[in-house]
């Protein structure tokens, strides 16, 4: 097997998250960090230096004009994601973009369509999906270890910084939604989204929130996010017809537990009659906690980006995944504004895009 | 202070819960168990014998005609609560009745009105409210230790028996609702109730449920009940402007934790201007876990019943409390049937009743 | 397979533990409770009545003279165990006796020898060994799932009643020692016993204690018992060359955990040379928590007694097991008196007994 | 209050721990990092550069000859601690030295005597003592919040690297011993030390160890260290006559818990008689968990070194503290070699030193 080529990345945006991307490209054996680009040259230079000496760019146009950049990682504010991504794709670059992928689902559709039309990789940086625990969850679901999925209950609560521009749904739920999107075969495509929020401090935005999303299969997904909790909980329960899995991110000694416990429900419809009977039985089997490797999620993500480019395929967290999560968040905001009424999310327009 | 008189109780219904009531009346120094009444004489006799020898009655009319019975405890199926309670009140007996207090809120209103018109005590057996932990929570809230209430989040999940006649809301949520009703000053009177349920096994009723209830104060209450969880959680978080309390019923070494942590939010409206500013700061203070006495809840409840009768006052969990909980459950069922739309609960008609 | 005969038991001693034995014999389908014997006839009568109506005896001689009693369960103070057991054996009865089996190891030897000479079953009531968790531990050890045993660390601490007559070793360590004896193939036969105790309140006896016991295999056993701990811990860790098991009796949701983690140590002695090298590697494999049935330990114990009698074999916790535990406790007391010096325990004299 | 002068430090040894010391001196507002000294100039240069540009020295003599170095931090192998410390003190430098302070207690005595004779600060780097949790424990003990100390039980277990040159006592117990030394008023001065170890893998050194140390007050200290545990526990329980404290370093949400629970024991000696009675009662009071600031321990340590120099006083973890811990470890090794016999530790020779 021949050695895969080393690709060259540029990071656009040297603020909060950019340095992490830069560091991971710089230390990956699949990547070389070609440049760091920011309007603030000093900030870009600091990130470049800390990553071992990439070029500094202050002009996006000049960056995109370079031949020696294969992919661009965009870590700028959300409102600029669309414009920068479109420019990068038009310049023939592969793109990985922070979440939310854009500031509206319609714009995200354009980005997905552009990338697909050009045969370029568009990836959303759903970092949590690259943790060993979430990778393992996806594997277990795919392998059928849980059986049919019955419900997903996700809790992400903690004392949190009340954000000036986003509510608790947009601040915290993207993590839960991107994980649920990742582990559900086919991604998260709820029939409807109902959002309930509380703003008991009068901050002008929801600080406590609940999202309820039934799926077509009959399964239900619920997400609870909260900025006002004195205790920190990050737990996702995925109930299946065969087994149930609990991910407790704050228990490093046992992050994943797979319970061979559940309710077996069998409906018996007697022939020719209306009479229905049901037998209910309980399984109280073993619990199993798989060992997980210690790996940095972002390092796995940049490897997956390189693999997707090399194999000319969609990455695990592609633009459509970012688009689905964004669609659910938009539906949540609509539902919240409508007093919790269930709202049908505007899902990706697959036919048009794929055509 | 003179010794309080010993009162005499009769238990109606010798099925699942009746024996517990009988035992607690029999062992209380405030009560004597006068009789156990059941259509099945053998069953009544067994309960009477196990409680140390009360009379056995098989006729409700004969029981209620007795002069030596002060109070009747009703542990029959819910559909009979109204008729038995009305008969008992008309016979001049004080009544404690299992929850749900009746099978419709309108019937419960009649019961409350009848008791109040006759000056008799009508109590709902909200047993959890008499546990030392819940009593302590009420005390702390009343004393202002938590400040203004901001949110209540209640989780009660476990592998549960799928009931033939009730869904997970009617099976489990009465516990949460009766506790929330007990600790909220003035009781639980939500502005609206939105219920979302899942029936992923196709049993014909919700097995996973979420209830969202905003209060007039701006606080929000949410209840999560689930029959399909492999892990057992019984936790209520009560967020306040000063402190936040967590009740974890499955941690006997630290059932209650009071966190002096939170978010302090202060809004500053600059004079004469539209400009608004806000300062957000965090308190990361001590945690405190009060010691709780070991006492059986039902024993406390029968003492409270005796006290309420002796002092001619409403008991802590009176008929109106049972009525409020029932009203919320009815609203939840309406909301569920309407796809999660927020429903205004039919609250007790206080003016008419009190007039 | 024919139905096993129902055997008949008598309980001697109607104090603290006797009623539990009586109830379990009375409710077993392998046993009938023939009689309860106590010098205090009223006490015996209460226990007999609560167990459904056995005979009351106040004379041991008359009890032992009865033909219709197959086995005697002795729940009297320890100083009378030897005399009552010897009398019962001489009367041809099988015996189960509370721990400690006697008040000296020499007397216990006589009891063991007498039972073996007469072909009667002598069982020690090591109740904990009949819990589902401890049974499972023994199975796993026997099946080689843990590999070679490396160490056992047992902690049993809690606020405890300071006993008037025994120290913390004699009060609590019998539980740990009986469990360790049960799970170690061949039983607990330490090379030596070193006991260290603390009496910081000046009560005249150790309230905090540590027992260290190396085994011939090179494994070590340590027991920590403590009456002064505000938190309750009951945990036994059994380290093996293949896997390590942790029993946490206060975690009902995960009492047993089997860790496929450990240190692999391989010593390489280079041929013909003094040079030694060692490779150390770590296994960080899965964790597994076996499901355990819900069964009352004493019910399992009376079934085992019936089986042992029926099959004319030693029960799982025979007199020799009780004898070994007593020998270790005696050695611990000697060590404690000698300032913690390692003491060789006086182990059962197997050759003489077996001859 | 005038601004304290900025002092200048040099770090000797640029291996595992040196970079941490260098970084903390460099970022402290009380210190300037003057130089990093290592025989390997490249290694020293890397540490100097990562800390923002200190001088590189490869000769200890030249370093000590500099006028502009106030203190030397020694992070070299233990066998060189004595020689480097003595040279630094003779050159008039204050010294902070890694633990163990020296490779024998006699050499440590010389170091302590030299520093005291010259009026220089000699500090041992007992890093754990500068964590917020351990500082708080010391405060609580000093303020009498726990009452008289009754027992200390320390557990530090985990899968650990089997060290080529030290056993589990020398690898892990210094942490426990330095903490116990820090919180005990007057430091850790046990009457005797008994060490029991196990080497079940045949590595040639103890991998599982227990240290028992009675104090003159009647209190007892026990330390359990283990390299073979699949679960990680770092917990110290400090039992007092008034309250008991538990430090659980792996529970970031509640590191310290103070239990107002315990046993009250009162001995009554009746006048003129031999008769003794005792009343035992239990307190089951509240639990309290103090909030702890987030501060890096090493940063606190270098501040304490500056304060001690400025105030010409012994630092909190002075050379005598390092000397006491070393004395206990030496006694543990002697005890282990003698099969667990209690050994009297060779404590610091205070009279001679102080004279």
Delimiting residues of CATH 3.30.360.10 domain(s) in chain B = 129-294
Which residues in chain A are contacts of B153 at CB distance < 8 A?
A: 208, 224, 226
3 state DSSP class of A166: coil
Cβ–Cβ gap D291/B287 under 8 Å: yes
> How large is the average pLDDT for residues B88-112?
96
pLDDT, averaged across chain C:
92
Give the per-residue pLDDT at A208: 97
The reply to whether B203 touches chain A by the CB within 8 Å rule is yes
- CA-based nearest residue in chain B for residue D283: B291
Res. A206: pLDDT tops 70: yes
**A307-339, pLDDT tens digit by residue?**
999 999 999 999 999 999 999 999 999 999 999
Q: What is the mean pLDDT of residues B80-93?
A: 98
Residue of D nearest to C163 (CA): D280
Spatial contact of B254 and C230, defined as CB atoms under 8 Å apart: no
For residue B276, pLDDT over 70 is answered with: no
C171 — pLDDT class (breaks 50, 70, 90): very high
Q: Does A247 touch chain B (CB under 8 A)?
A: no
Nearest CA in chain B to A193: B340
Q: How many Å apart are CA C214 and CA C220, to the nearest integer?
A: 4
Q: Does the domain at residues C7-127+297-318 carry the CATH identifier 3.40.50.720?
A: yes
pLDDT of residue D91: 98
Tell me the C-alpha distance between A294 and A170, whole Å: 29
Question: pLDDT class for C268, splitting at 50, 70, 90?
Answer: low
pLDDT score of C352 more than 60: no
pLDDT in tens, D247-304: 999 998 899 999 998 887 776 555 544 445 566 777 789 999 999 998 999 999 999 9
- pLDDT at B51 (0 to 100): 86
CA distance A215 to chain B (A): 10
pLDDT, tens digit (0-9, with 9 covering 90-100), for C214-245? 999 999 999 999 999 999 999 999 999 999 99
**Which one, of A236, A247, A110, lies nearest residue A173 by Cα?**
A236
Report yes or no: B251 at the A interface, CB cutoff 8 Å. Answer: no
Measure the CA–CA gap between A308 and A95, rounded to whole angstroms. Answer: 11
Residue C261, pLDDT score: 87
- 10 Å Cβ neighbour count for C338? 13
Out of C202, C220, C222, name the one closest to residue D218 (CB).
C202
Where in the sequence of chain D do the CATH 3.30.360.10 domains occur? 129-296
Residues of chain C with CATH 3.40.50.720: 7-127+297-318
Question: What is the 3 state secondary structure string of chain D?
Answer: CCCCCCEEEEEECCCCCHHHHHHHHHHCCCEEEEEEECCCHHHHHHHHHHCCCCEEECCHHHHHHCCCCCEEEECCCHHHHHHHHHHHHHCCCEEEECCCCCCCHHHHHHHHHHHHHHCCCEEECCHHHHCHHHHHHHHHHHCCCCCCEEEEEEEEEEECCCCCCCCHHHHHHHHHHHHHHHHCCCCCCCCCEEEEEECCCCCCCCCEEEEEEECCCCCEEEEEEECEEEEEEEEEEEEECCCEEEEECCCCCCCEEEEEEEEEEEEEECCCCCCEEEEEEEEEEEEEECCCCCCCHHHHHHHHHHHHHHCCCCCCCEHHHHHHHHHHHHHHHHHHHCCCCCECCCCCCHHHHHC
- pLDDT of D271: 52
Give ipTM to 2 decimals.
Answer: 0.92
Which residue, B10, B163, B17, B8, is CA-closest to B76?
B17
In terms of Cα–Cα distance, which of D45, D96, D93 is closest to D75? D96
CATH homologous superfamily of A7-126+297-319 equals NAD(P)-binding Rossmann-like Domain (3.40.50.720)
Does residue D251 belong to the interface with chain C, where contact is any CB pair within 8 Å? no
Determine the pLDDT at residue B278: 63
Given a cut of 60, is residue D240 above it in pLDDT? Answer: yes
Please return the burial class of A164, using the count of CB atoms within 10 Å of its CB with bins 0-12, 13-18 and 19+: exposed
Contact: A239, B342; criterion CB under 8 Å: no
Within an 8 Å CB–CB cutoff, is residue A162 touching chain B? yes
Q: Which residues in chain D (182-201) have CB-CB distances under 8 A to chain C?
A: 194, 196-201
Cβ D224 vs Cβ C253: under 8 Å:
no
Q: Is C253 on the interface with B (CB under 8 A)?
A: yes
Look at residue A254 in the predicted model and tell me its pLDDT: 93
What are the pLDDT digits (tens) for A129-160?
Answer: 999 999 999 999 999 999 999 999 999 999 88
pLDDT at A351 over 50: no
Q: What is the pLDDT of residues D63-92, one digit of tens each?
A: 999 999 999 999 999 999 999 999 999 999
Chain B: partners with 3+ C-beta pairs within 8 Å: A, C, D
- The pLDDT tens digits for B295-336 are 999 999 999 999 999 999 999 999 999 999 999 999 999 999
Q: What mean pLDDT is reported for chain D?
A: 92
- Residue range B129-294 in CATH 3.40.50.2300: no
With beta carbons under 8 A apart, name residues in chain A contacting C286.
288-291
Give SS3 for B235: strand
The answer to whether residues A69 and A34 touch, using CB atoms and an 8 Å cutoff, is: yes
Reduced 3-state DSSP string for chain C: CCCCCCEEEEEECCCCCHHHHHHHHHHCCCEEEEEEECCCHHHHHHHHHHCCCCEEECCHHHHHHCCCCCEEEECCCHHHHHHHHHHHHHCCCEEEECCCCCCCHHHHHHHHHHHHHHCCCEEECCHHHHCHHHHHHHHHHHCCCCCCEEEEEEEEEEECCCCCCCCHHHHHHHHHHHHHHHHCCCCCCCCCEEEEEECCCCCCCCCEEEEEEECCCCCEEEEEEECEEEEEEEEEEEEECCCEEEEECCCCCCCEEEEEEEEEEEEEECCCCCCEEEEEEEEEEEEEECCCCCCCHHHHHHHHHHHHHHHCCCCCCEHHHHHHHHHHHHHHHHHHHCCCCCECCCCCCHHHHHC
Tell me whether A265 touches chain C (CB under 8 Å): no
Rounded Cα–Cα distance for residues A156 and A232 (Å): 8
**Whole-number pLDDT of residue C253:** 87
Cβ separation C220–D212 shorter than 8 A: no
* Top CATH class, C129-294+326-330: alpha beta
- Partners of D261 on chain B (C-beta within 8 Å) are 291
Pairing of strands D71-74, D7-12: parallel
Res. C282 pLDDT band, cuts 50 70 90: confident
Query: pLDDT, tens digit, for every residue of D142-196?
Result: 999 999 999 999 999 998 877 778 999 999 999 999 999 999 999 999 999 999 9
pLDDT at A354: 46
Whether the pLDDT of residue B268 is over 60: the answer is no
Q: Does B66 touch chain A (CB under 8 A)?
A: no
- Chains near D, with 3+ CB pairs < 8 A? A, B, C
Q: How confident is the model at residue A271 (pLDDT cuts 50, 70, 90)?
A: low
The reply to whether CATH 3.30.360.10 applies to domain A129-294+327-343 is yes
pLDDT at D23: 95
- Interface size, chain C vs chain D, as Cβ–Cβ contacts under 8 Å: 162
d(CA A137, CA D155): 34
Question: Taking 60 as the threshold, does the pLDDT of residue B115 lie above it?
Answer: yes
Mean pLDDT of the B117-143 span: 98
Does the beta carbon of D247 lie under 8 angstroms from any beta carbon of chain C? no
Q: What is the mean pLDDT of the segment spanning A169-192? A: 97
D51 vs D26: CA distance, rounded Å: 6
Residue C197 has pLDDT above 50, yes or no: yes
Higher per-residue pLDDT: A163 or A157:
A157
CA distance B122 to chain A (A): 35
What class is the D129-296 domain? Answer: alpha beta
Confidence (pLDDT) at B4 = 60
Tell me which residues of chain A, numbers 287 to 316, contact chain C at a CB-CB cutoff of 8 Å: 287-291
- Inter-residue contact A104 to A111 (CB < 8 Å): no
Question: Which of these CATH numbers, 3.40.50.2300, 3.30.420.40, 3.40.50.720, 3.40.50.300, describes B7-126+297-325?
Answer: 3.40.50.720
D196, D203, D244 member nearest C230 (Cβ) = D244
Q: For residue A278, what pLDDT is reported?
A: 63
The pLDDT of residue C353 is 47
pLDDT, one tens digit per residue, over A41-59 is 999 999 998 888 899 999 9
- DSSP state, residue A198: E
pLDDT greater than 50 at residue A274: no
What topology is assigned to D7-126+299-325 in CATH?
A: Rossmann fold (3.40.50)
Please check the confidence at residue C120 and state whether its pLDDT lies above 70: yes
Per residue in B241-259, pLDDT tens?
A: 999 999 999 998 899 999 9
Comma-separated ranges of CATH 3.30.360.10 domains in chain C: 129-294+326-330
Q: Where are the beta strands (DSSP E) in B118-166?
A: 122-124, 149-159
Q: Among residues A87, D204, A221, B35, which one has the least CA distance to residue C265?
A: D204
Residue ranges matching CATH 3.30.360.10 in chain A: 129-294+327-343
For C139-170, write each residue's pLDDT tens digit: 999 999 999 999 999 999 998 877 778 999 99
The model's confidence at residue B152, banded by pLDDT at 50, 70 and 90, is very high
Report residue A4's pLDDT band, with 50, 70 and 90 as the boundaries: low
What's the whole-number mean pLDDT along residues C205-216? 97
Share of chain A above pLDDT 90, in %: 84
How far is CA D326 from each of CA A333, B7, C328, D153, rounded to the nearest angstrom?
A: 64, 72, 34, 19
Q: Do residues D112 and D81 make contact, with C-beta atoms less than 8 angstroms apart?
A: no
pLDDT value at residue B161: 75
């Amino acid at each position: 097997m021949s050695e895969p080529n080393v690709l060259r990345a540029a990071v656009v945006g040297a603020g909060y998250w950019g340095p992490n991307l830069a560091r991971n490209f710089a230390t990956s054996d699949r990547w070389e960090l070609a440049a760091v680009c920011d309007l603030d040259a000093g900030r870009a230079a600091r990130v470049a230096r800390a990553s071992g000496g990439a070029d500094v760019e202050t002009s996006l146009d000049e960056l995109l004009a370079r031949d020696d950049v294969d992919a661009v990682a965009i870590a700028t504010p959300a409102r600029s994601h669309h414009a920068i991504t479109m420019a990068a794709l038009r310049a023939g670059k592969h793109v990985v973009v922070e979440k939310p992928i854009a500031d509206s689902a319609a714009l995200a559709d354009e980005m997905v369509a552009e990338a697909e039309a050009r045969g370029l990789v568009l990836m959303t940086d759903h970092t949590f999906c690259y943790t060993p625990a979430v990778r393992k969850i996806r594997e277990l679901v795919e392998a059928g270890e849980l059986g049919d999925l019955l419900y997903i209950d996700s809790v992400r609560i903690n004392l949190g910084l009340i954000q000036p521009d986003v509510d608790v749904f947009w601040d915290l739920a993207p993590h839960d939604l991107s994980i649920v999107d990742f582990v559900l075969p086919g991604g998260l495509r709820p029939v409807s989204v109902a959002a309930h929020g509380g703003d008991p401090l009068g901050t002008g935005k929801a600080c406590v929130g609940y999202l309820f999303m039934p799926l077509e299969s009959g399964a239900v997904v619920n997400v609870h996010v909260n900025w006002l909790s004195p205790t920190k909980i990050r737990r996702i329960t995925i109930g299946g017809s065969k087994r149930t899995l609990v991910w407790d991110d704050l228990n490093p000694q046992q992050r994943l537990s797979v319970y061979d416990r559940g309710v077996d429900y069998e409906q018996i419809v007697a022939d020719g009659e209306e009479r229905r009977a049901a037998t209910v039985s309980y399984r109280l089997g073993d619990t199993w906690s798989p060992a997980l490797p210690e790996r940095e999620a972002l390092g796995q993500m940049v490897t997956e980006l390189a693999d997707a480019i090399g194999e000319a395929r969609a990455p695990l967290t592609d633009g459509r995944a970012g688009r689905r999560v964004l669609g659910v968040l938009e539906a949540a905001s609509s539902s919240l504004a409508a007093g919790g009424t269930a709202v049908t999310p505007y899902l990706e327009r697959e036919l048009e895009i794929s055509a």
